[in-house]
């Protein structure tokens, strides 16, 4: 296969440079990046997570020039003057605007790089990309990383990085499974022997649940609420499975009939109903992936269970909901939102071990 040749080539090239690389490695920072649809996290070898900011960029509408990135850009959302717009370039897992993605990567790499004692050599960077991305998109991320100042760039599929970060034994023969629920995408993957055996990537995740809640408030209470309000109640009292003690929270918005501000108490029971469309799709996707999994691996999974990662994994009762649907143990990874970044960092610490789990690039045309 094509990828194998590239991999062989890379390995030989790498062997040749290894003595030099060892010296550079002592001085340089190796950086793992989780380029998420909602949040970008950066981890540095031996230091852990150093950056955790929303994946927002504020740009000038006319020139499309970035004006602010990360937390600062998110602060501008909804408050921008007419000629500035705040966007999420990775939303829905698509690298829609290359230049903006590049600016964002550069900002985060520079920010991490500032932590170095000396400003050179440039860092080696591992970037997590959604497993569904096209060859063109991978290329775009790779190029953006290099042009953002990386000495070497490696791509890893996000579910793979999430699994490594969650401590799953993906290199072993035994099967394991991750469900990474982010903002824009949910990624399901089943691993064995360092490879992804079955995978699913859907554009239903945390954001879609927020939209469900906006819809629900509108149709049930004629209440117009913003996305951030919806996210707040989702995190506060959202739920996917009956809870021992149901809770309520205040929803604030504007009444659509009289145009006046209005507050409504919303319960975790109502939110469960509101979020059901997205939650059901996620559950069905997990079930589909399991249906396609070879029986030997299913047997392994029955032993080790299914691991949930990403911010969406923290929805109350989601693990129970999936457990109930697939009759298998489901657990939430420790510090689920940082799994991908920590996994990417781990890969850099053991590049020799993990080299084979990295994404091959069809680099026919360009070599930097």
**Least distance in Å: CB of 309 to ligand ADP?**
8
Please, which residue, 89 or 311, has the CB nearer to ligand ADP?
A: 311
What are the residue ranges of helices labelled H in 114-253?
135-147, 158-165, 206-221, 227-237
Please, which residue, 36 or 66, has the CB nearer to Mg ion?
A: 36
Please, which residue, 110 or 335, has the CB nearer to ligand ADP?
A: 335
Cβ atoms 56, 21 nearer than 8 A = no
**What region, left, alpha or beta, does residue 256 occupy, with left being phi > 0 and alpha being psi -120 to 50 degrees?**
alpha
Nearest residue to Mg ion on Cβ basis? 182
Say if residue 357 is exposed, middle or buried (CB neighbours under 10 Å; 0-12, 13-18, 19+). buried
**Least distance in Å: CB of 55 to Mg ion?**
10
**Least distance in Å: CB of 168 to ligand ADP?**
17
**Least distance in Å: CB of 356 to Mg ion?**
22
**Least distance in Å: CB of 232 to Mg ion?**
20
- CA dist list (Å): 355 to 48, 143, 205, 351, 352: 20, 19, 30, 5, 5
Please, which residue, 36 or 253, has the CB nearer to Mg ion?
A: 36
Look up tokens 């047997």; give the residue.
299
Tell which positions 139-198 bind Mg ion, by CB under 5 A: 182
Q: Residue 163 corresponds to which tokens in the numbers above? A: 């699994």
Could you list the residues that contact ligand ADP (CB under 6 A)?
A: 36-39, 182-184, 206-207, 231, 234-235, 238, 310-312, 314-315, 337
**Least distance in Å: CB of 55 to ligand ADP?**
6
What are the residue ranges of helices labelled H in 186-335?
206-221, 227-237, 268-291, 295-304, 318-326
- CA dist list (Å): 110 to 116, 148, 217, 265: 10, 8, 42, 45
Per partner kind, with CB cut-offs from 5 to 8 A, the member of ligand ADP, Mg ion, none near residue 315 is ligand ADP
Tell which positions 14-43 bind Mg ion, by CB under 5 A: 36
Q: Residue 43 corresponds to which tokens in the numbers above? A: 């981890």
- β-partners of residue 254 are 224, 261
Per partner kind, with CB cut-offs from 5 to 8 A, the member of ligand ADP, Mg ion, none near residue 275 is none
**Least distance in Å: CB of 240 to ligand ADP?**
10
Please, which residue, 66 or 206, has the CB nearer to ligand ADP?
A: 206
User: Helix, strand or coil for residue 78?
Assistant: coil
Please, which residue, 123 or 317, has the CB nearer to ligand ADP?
A: 317
Per partner kind, with CB cut-offs from 5 to 8 A, the member of Mg ion, ligand ADP, none near residue 152 is none
Q: Point out which residues bind Mg ion (CB under 5 A).
A: 36, 182
């Amino acid at each position: 296969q094509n990828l194998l040749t590239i991999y062989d080539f890379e390995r030989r090239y790498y062997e040749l440079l290894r003595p030099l690389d060892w010296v550079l490695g002592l001085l340089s920072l190796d950086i793992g990046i989780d380029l998420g649809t909602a949040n970008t996290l950066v981890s540095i070898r031996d230091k852990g997570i150093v950056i955790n900011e929303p994946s927002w960029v504020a740009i000038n509408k006319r020139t499309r020039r970035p004006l602010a990135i990360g937390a600062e850009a998110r602060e501008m959302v909804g408050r921008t003057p007419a000629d500035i717009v705040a966007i999420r370039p990775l939303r829905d897992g698509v690298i829609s605007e290359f230049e903006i993605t590049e600016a964002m990567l550069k900002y985060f790499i520079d920010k991490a790089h500032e932590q170095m004692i000396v400003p050179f050599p440039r860092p080696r960077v591992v970037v997590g990309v959604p497993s569904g991305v096209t060859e063109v998109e991978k290329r775009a991320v790779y190029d953006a990383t290099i042009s953002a100042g990386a000495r070497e760039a490696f791509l890893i599929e996000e579910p793979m990085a999430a699994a490594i970060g969650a401590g799953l034994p993906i290199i072993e023969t035994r099967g394991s499974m991750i469900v990474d629920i982010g903002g824009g995408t949910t990624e399901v993957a089943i691993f064995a022997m360092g490879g992804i055996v079955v995978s699913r990537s859907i554009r239903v995740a945390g954001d879609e649940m927020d939209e469900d809640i906006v819809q629900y408030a509108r149709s049930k209470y004629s209440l117009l609420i913003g996305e951030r309000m919806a996210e707040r109640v989702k995190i506060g009292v959202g739920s996917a499975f009956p809870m021992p003690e149901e809770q309520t929270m205040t929803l604030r918005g504007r009444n659509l009939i009289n145009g006046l501000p209005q507050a409504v108490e919303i319960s975790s029971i109502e939110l469960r109903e509101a979020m059901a469309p997205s939650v059901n799709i996620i559950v069905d996707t997990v079930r589909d992936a399991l249906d396609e999994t070879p029986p030997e691996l299913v047997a392994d999974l029955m032993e080790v269970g299914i691991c949930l990662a990403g911010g969406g994994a923290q929805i109350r009762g989601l693990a129970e909901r999936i457990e109930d649907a697939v009759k298998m143990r489901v657990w939430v990874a420790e510090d689920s939102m940082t799994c991908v970044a920590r996994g990417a960092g781990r890969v850099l610490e053991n590049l020799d071990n993990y080299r084979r789990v990295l994404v091959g690039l069809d680099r026919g045309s360009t070599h930097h």
